[in-house]
Structure 1
């Protein structure tokens, strides 16, 4: 193919892909049907389906007022498909489809790949034998043009290097050591002004040193264990508004001082499966939605 024509086609694909900002999946088949993280312990069959739908709808309504939304069709037998953050990593029109660590979620891969392809995203190659769980473990930080990559529970420690090769963005690998915080987005949230909201005890010492080396003290918002267990870091920021499951008064004050407006959208039913606002969304432009 002529290089100029290929470039024009790729540009057109990126423009189409960039039209929507956030991908969601309705919780038609959501529930806790198996155990693949500590939050799921003793929760099988205990989901209030009606409440889950209401909580998801509430988050959707909030987001629809400030972002473009796209939806992937929920499939029976895939209760975790609602957590679209794990569909893959999207940056500048390119998608890396996840390679799930847990066998229960692997059937989602083909469905998400089909959706990305139909929407015109360029799909990057990824090794079959390297676990990677998308934007659950890879968080773009546009303020610094880097990608924070979590590993240790779900994604391989090889993932940061591969992500850097695909996107040509600097990556910083962070090792997760607490099984309750099995994905990076459960305990870490980069914000568009360069601030980082995170729970220090979720990381090993080398990772904490890496965070401190990148972000100055005034930009590091350390959350308490209470806020961490409420999945405060599992947040979605849109145009200065931060949507999250729970937020203490102290954290609200800190976020407000940084120029953000925290908006609590309770998602208790989804916490039973180990997810909240960020897990329920995938940013399709790979960064701040402002």
Structure 2
């Protein structure tokens, strides 16, 4: 378990300096199928996954982020997707409780790490997959349901954090976590800018998003289909999938600075930039 203290990059400008938790994909492979992206019959290259992950890791350091690492555990190939390991805000860590048994051991490992690093742990009662489905934007927490996190977990989230939680229902199995269909472009407490794929949501959720975020970027299916929305922003710099070319253009048009990263090997497990990134908020 390591923390790297980075130097501040001149490209950051007025951006925030997030603190994030990551996990090296030393044990990455696709052994089972719990989302449409996973095909166990196809080969995976663990070494390539590690090299691509290291590019993301180095990008964060170059942007001035503080990066912590949790030790990967043998037998848990999806532990690299750190965002699913919990949700942190106000110094509290809300633990993940995974829907599928293959990932269940990850929740306690992440919650133990967070408790050891100064967060007040809250063991979840309801099924939830952490920051994969919970995204703070402005003064509200966007919360996804439909495939992984239960609607009841949204009530638990409200009780734990005392904040407004906006429930959104996902309807396309390719976008099974909220962070595959929504990109938060401004950090919590900011003006609340997002990008999203409208088709990933039911009609009621699309209406809510349109009302709450009238200036949001609408991303096309092609870019969302390479998990382009599974990105990480500090409010100025946005780290995105290298294949999401039109989203990159849209970000530049809005004044953001995109940083494309190729995580094509980790995409075979159904994850991208944001999936590999758990933000630590105290």
Q: Does TM, normalized by the shorter one, top 0.5?
A: yes
Give the secondary-structure state (helix, strand or coil) at the position aligned to 2:173.
coil
Q: Which residue of 2 aligns with 1:101?
A: 99
Deviates more, 1:249-258 or 1:196-205: 249-258
1:155-234 → structure 2 map (5 Å cutoff): 155-192=149-186, 193-216=191-214, 219-234=215-230
Deviation at 1:112, TM superposition (A): 1.1
Q: CA 1:133/1:29 → structure 2, altered by over 3 Å: closer, same or farther?
A: same
Deviation at 1:126, TM superposition (A): 2.2
Deviation at 1:252, TM superposition (A): 2.4
1:88-127 → structure 2 map (5 Å cutoff): 88-127=86-125
Q: Which residue of 2 aligns with 1:257?
A: 253
Q: Distance in 2 between matches of 1:258 and 1:167?
A: 32
Q: CA 1:49/1:248 → structure 2, altered by over 3 Å: closer, same or farther?
A: closer
Higher helix share: 1
Deviation at 1:249, TM superposition (A): 4.3
Q: Distance in 2 between matches of 1:80 and 1:281?
A: 13
Superposed CA RMSD in Å reads 1.6
8 Å Cα contact 1:138/1:147 also seen in 2: yes
Structure with max Cα Rg: 1
Q: CA 1:249/1:276 → structure 2, altered by over 3 Å: closer, same or farther?
A: closer
Q: How many residues align?
A: 261
Q: Distance in 2 between matches of 1:45 and 1:33?
A: 10
Q: Which residue of 2 aligns with 1:82?
A: 80
Structure 2: segments with no counterpart, 5+ residues? 1-16
8 Å Cα contact 1:231/1:246 also seen in 2: no
Q: Distance in 1 between matches of 2:124 and 2:233?
A: 28
Q: CA 1:239/1:214 → structure 2, altered by over 3 Å: closer, same or farther?
A: closer
8 Å Cα contact 1:132/1:155 also seen in 2: yes
Q: CA 1:250/1:107 → structure 2, altered by over 3 Å: closer, same or farther?
A: closer
Q: Distance in 1 between matches of 2:241 and 2:250?
A: 17
Q: CA 1:201/1:107 → structure 2, altered by over 3 Å: closer, same or farther?
A: same
For each residue in 1:183-207, what CA deviation from the matched residue of structure 2 results, as whole angstroms up to 9, or x when unmatched? 0001111221422111111100010
Deviation at 1:281, TM superposition (A): 0.6
Matched, 1:60 2:57: yes
Matched, 1:22 2:20: yes
Select which of 255, 260, 276 maps to 1:280: 276
Q: Which residue of 2 aligns with 1:152?
A: 146
Q: Post-superposition, which runs of at least 4 consecutive aligned residues in structure 1 deviate over 4 A? A: none
8 Å Cα contact 2:224/2:244 also seen in 1: no
8 Å Cα contact 1:197/1:233 also seen in 2: yes
Structure 1: segments with no counterpart, 5+ residues? 1-18
